[in-house]
Chains A and B, each alone.
Chain A
Amino acid sequence: MSETATDRAHAAGGGPIDPDRPTREQRVGAPEALPVTVIQPRRGWIPIDWKELWEFRELLYFLVWRDVKVRYKQTVLGATWAILQPLVFMLVFTLIAGLTNLSTDGVPKPVFYFAGLVPWLLFANAVSLGGQSLVNQQHLLTKVYFPRLFVPIAPVGAGLLDFLLQMAVLVVMMAAYGMAPSALVLLTPLLLLVTLMAGTGMALLLGSLTVTYRDFRYVIPYMVQVWMFVSPVIYSANQCQEKFRETWGVLPAINPMWGVVTGFRAALVGTPVNATELAISTASAILVLLFGAAYFRRTERRFADVV
């Protein structure tokens, strides 16, 4: 009669069988098969442990899933909240635009505003939810270990779902107005990536700052508000630059969302965009992500002590 691994392990007096882990018998023979964790004091700038992030990848999925589920369970409106957010803003802006001479680059107002709001809200929610995530989940930080990077990243991931829903609505809206995107639409995934980089970078940066300096959580909503006005969400970058290019050149493009919002509109709706500004915004987003991640890793080890 052939012996299975199960029989042998039982005979060796091992514990319950877990096919995902080496059996006790295998372990006894090969102690190097066990992962070794070394804990010691660290100083200064700490690199990202990619191996660990990969090992814990399933947890990131669960955290995003949790955020999505909880968000939709808690609101009376459920999934419609994701669509209502940009819709309501769009209505308000359309009304206001009627009172001013803010240009919408020759495109119907609702489409102009909605197209700008979709990437903007992804960024804004990433920053506010991500920034507060560590403080709001201090419980987790003090009771169990997992890569802390996942905590601010999860809300950003959850925001992606909202983004997709909103894009669907945008497509319907554009069809209703009889508009079709140009070849520039291929830029959309890239712009999405830039938004995610900027949003994640800020979430990581603000998240760690909020843990250390608790009053920062009051700064965040205000910061996001101001940021919206500095980005061409309510107005057209084109019109703005016509007036002010001589004064400040491409300076506004340092704000990653400047390039993203104009680029997004250009990709979908055909409004003009400045390639230099787009490039600067992309570079800026990359820098924000790198700095945010580096600062996070540097301050991460003190989270459980100060939160």
Chain B
Amino acid sequence: MLPAIHVEDLGKRYKIGVRAPDDQNFREALVGLLTAPVRRFRTLSEHAEENETIWALKEFDLEVQSGEVIGVIGRNGAGKSTLLKILSRITEPTTGRVELRGHVASLLEVGTGFHAELTGRENIFLAGAIHGMRRAEIVRKFDQITAFADIERFLDTPVKRYSSGMYVRLAFAVAAHLEPEILLVDEVLAVGDVEFQRKCLGRMREVAGGGRTVLFVSHNMVSIESLCNRAVLLEEGRKTMEGGPAQVIETYLASFRRSTGSVALRDRTDRSGGVHARFTDVHFYDADGHITASVPMGGELTVEAEFVCNQRLSRPRFLVLFINAMGQTIFHAKSHAAVDVMPDAGKGGNVQCRFPALNLPPGMYSITLRLNDSVAQRVDGLEMAASIEVTEVDVYGTGRGAHEPDDVMFMPSEWAWDYT
């Protein structure tokens, strides 16, 4: 049986550098054209200034049989989105070959194709068509889509009036009713409320169970484990492991187990923003003010983030997010909520976020740092900026464990009783 997806030696190279060819404006391009003979002469005599290249994906092979659900995991920047983009024909590979047997649909974000001025009804048709559905197909599924999204009453209102929840529900409803033989999904389940996420997971299971081939990229280990029958680990553009989801997830998580008390962040490139200000370092301090790589459960922890800025930041908002090993965000600590007025930042400095009692069960946690300006626009953000280990501790002094394996939180409790 021929595989549904056949990938051979796939590679994607990007040129980066001081002035990459992609970054030119027209005047520079023209000048470049005219000086080409001069440049060529120079390279013969001296060492040429090469543009740096990075391989976002390299020597990637994969075979997926019809009906399989493959999970692709890896850190940010590992090449997962590049892989999806190539398979979705959005970007072209530098090397290699892909064969896809069947109709292909890609879900790379929620709301692709939607136009704010059009009504819900009109957008269902537009988005459906953009995703590859025929008009007849959309007409046939129209009622199911509106029922799934639960927006029957708002069909004729422009989508710009929808709440973000309604928007997401409608966008996903359209996507959920695509019926391609091959489905490529990129973490679209990370949006919406719990109820909606449960609906999406359910629908994904239906689609997967219906004999379709699914390639699923996610940071959510829970969904990878429950939906996929095989997983692939990507590290710095290469496939480093392939196998059962549980084993691959374990290998992936193991790579986080090395934690240090301080991490340099200045040179990280996988950040959102970092132009006007950037985080340069992050440190963890224990209750005594010493740098630490671990904290006992329920113990005190201070996260200190150092940053620099090249223009005045008016009333900045800092966020520290704690994410557990399964990829779930446990909480956001927001300076904007906790502090009445945050002073303006001139050149930079540091900010400390102290948790008097970090009530998390033992395990590895990574933190995400974010810096927003006074109107909540992102100035800098780093996912998985650093990791810290929460260690098992005899909280109550009874010698007995105070939590269970799948707990997301630890909550200290006091007990009283009154028997008859």
- A residues near B, CB below 8 A? 13-16, 18, 20-21, 24, 27, 31, 34-42, 58-59, 62, 66, 69-70, 73-74, 139-146, 209, 212-216, 219, 301-302, 304-306
Asked whether A41 and B130 contact (CB < 8 A) given A144-B88, A214-B25, A215-B25, the answer is: no
- CA–CA, A220 and B206, complex, Å: 49
In the assembled complex, how far is the CB of residue B53 from the closest CB belonging to chain A, in whole angstroms? 13
Asked whether A31 and B2 contact (CB < 8 A) given A145-B89, A213-B25, the answer is: yes
Interface status of B147 (Cβ within 8 A of chain A): no
- CA–CA, A219 and B85, complex, Å: 31
- CA–CA, A69 and B89, complex, Å: 29
- B125: chain A residues at CB < 8 Å are 62
| A15 nearest in chain B by CB position | B210
In the assembled complex, how far is the CB of residue A176 from the closest CB belonging to chain B, in whole angstroms? 36
Asked if A145 and B106 make an inter-chain contact with CB atoms under 8 angstroms apart, the answer reads yes
- CA–CA, A139 and B127, complex, Å: 13
Asked whether A304 and B90 contact (CB < 8 A) given A35-B102, A36-B100, A143-B108, the answer is: yes
- B2: chain A residues at CB < 8 Å are 31
| A215 nearest in chain B by CB position | B25
What are 14 sample pairs from A and B whose C-beta atoms fall under 8 A apart? A34-B181, A38-B98, A58-B135, A66-B122, A69-B117, A70-B117, A73-B117, A143-B108, A144-B108, A144-B131, A146-B130, A212-B22, A304-B91, A306-B22
Asked if A20 and B118 make an inter-chain contact with CB atoms under 8 angstroms apart, the answer reads no
In the assembled complex, how far is the CB of residue B287 from the closest CB belonging to chain A, in whole angstroms? 47
Partner of A219, one of B26, B101, B212: B26
Asked if B90 and A145 make an inter-chain contact with CB atoms under 8 angstroms apart, the answer reads yes
- A70: chain B residues at CB < 8 Å are 115, 117-118
Asked if A66 and B115 make an inter-chain contact with CB atoms under 8 angstroms apart, the answer reads yes
In the assembled complex, how far is the CB of residue A57 from the closest CB belonging to chain B, in whole angstroms? 10
Q: How many A-B residue pairs have CB under 8 A?
A: 133
Asked if A18 and B137 make an inter-chain contact with CB atoms under 8 angstroms apart, the answer reads yes
Given contact pairs A39-B99, A39-B100, A215-B27, enumerate 17 new A-B contacts (beta carbons under 8 Å): A14-B211, A15-B211, A35-B103, A36-B100, A37-B89, A39-B92, A58-B135, A59-B129, A66-B115, A73-B158, A143-B106, A143-B108, A146-B132, A212-B29, A219-B26, A301-B91, A304-B91
- A301: chain B residues at CB < 8 Å are 91-92
Partner of B97, one of A13, A40, A219: A40
In the assembled complex, how far is the CB of residue A72 from the closest CB belonging to chain B, in whole angstroms? 10
Asked if A39 and B86 make an inter-chain contact with CB atoms under 8 angstroms apart, the answer reads yes
Asked if B26 and A66 make an inter-chain contact with CB atoms under 8 angstroms apart, the answer reads no
- CA–CA, A216 and B25, complex, Å: 8
Asked if B211 and A215 make an inter-chain contact with CB atoms under 8 angstroms apart, the answer reads no
Interface status of B24 (Cβ within 8 A of chain A): yes
Interface 1/0 per residue, B105-123 and A, CB below 8 Å: 0101100110101100010
In the assembled complex, how far is the CB of residue A15 from the closest CB belonging to chain B, in whole angstroms? 3
Asked whether A15 and B179 contact (CB < 8 A) given A213-B25, A216-B26, the answer is: yes
| A36 nearest in chain B by CB position | B101
Interface status of B104 (Cβ within 8 A of chain A): yes
- CA–CA, A219 and B181, complex, Å: 45
Interface status of B396 (Cβ within 8 A of chain A): no
Asked if A144 and B130 make an inter-chain contact with CB atoms under 8 angstroms apart, the answer reads yes
Q: Which of B186-214 contact A (CB under 8 A)?
A: 207, 210-212
- B374: chain A residues at CB < 8 Å are none
- A66: chain B residues at CB < 8 Å are 115, 118, 122, 126
Asked if B98 and A39 make an inter-chain contact with CB atoms under 8 angstroms apart, the answer reads yes
Asked if B25 and A39 make an inter-chain contact with CB atoms under 8 angstroms apart, the answer reads no
- A15: chain B residues at CB < 8 Å are 179, 207, 210-212
In the assembled complex, how far is the CB of residue A183 from the closest CB belonging to chain B, in whole angstroms? 41
| B182 nearest in chain A by CB position | A37
| A142 nearest in chain B by CB position | B90
Asked if B102 and A213 make an inter-chain contact with CB atoms under 8 angstroms apart, the answer reads no
- CA–CA, A56 and B224, complex, Å: 33
Asked if A34 and B102 make an inter-chain contact with CB atoms under 8 angstroms apart, the answer reads yes
| B122 nearest in chain A by CB position | A69
- B137: chain A residues at CB < 8 Å are 18, 20
Interface status of B272 (Cβ within 8 A of chain A): no
Asked if B179 and A16 make an inter-chain contact with CB atoms under 8 angstroms apart, the answer reads yes
In the assembled complex, how far is the CB of residue B13 from the closest CB belonging to chain A, in whole angstroms? 10
Partner of B14, one of A39, A141, A305: A305
| B91 nearest in chain A by CB position | A304
Interface status of B311 (Cβ within 8 A of chain A): no
Asked if A31 and B117 make an inter-chain contact with CB atoms under 8 angstroms apart, the answer reads no
Asked whether A39 and B212 contact (CB < 8 A) given A70-B115, A305-B14, the answer is: no
In the assembled complex, how far is the CB of residue A151 from the closest CB belonging to chain B, in whole angstroms? 11
Interface status of B43 (Cβ within 8 A of chain A): no
Partner of A40, one of B14, B85, B96, B109: B96
- B26: chain A residues at CB < 8 Å are 209, 213, 215-216, 219
| B100 nearest in chain A by CB position | A37
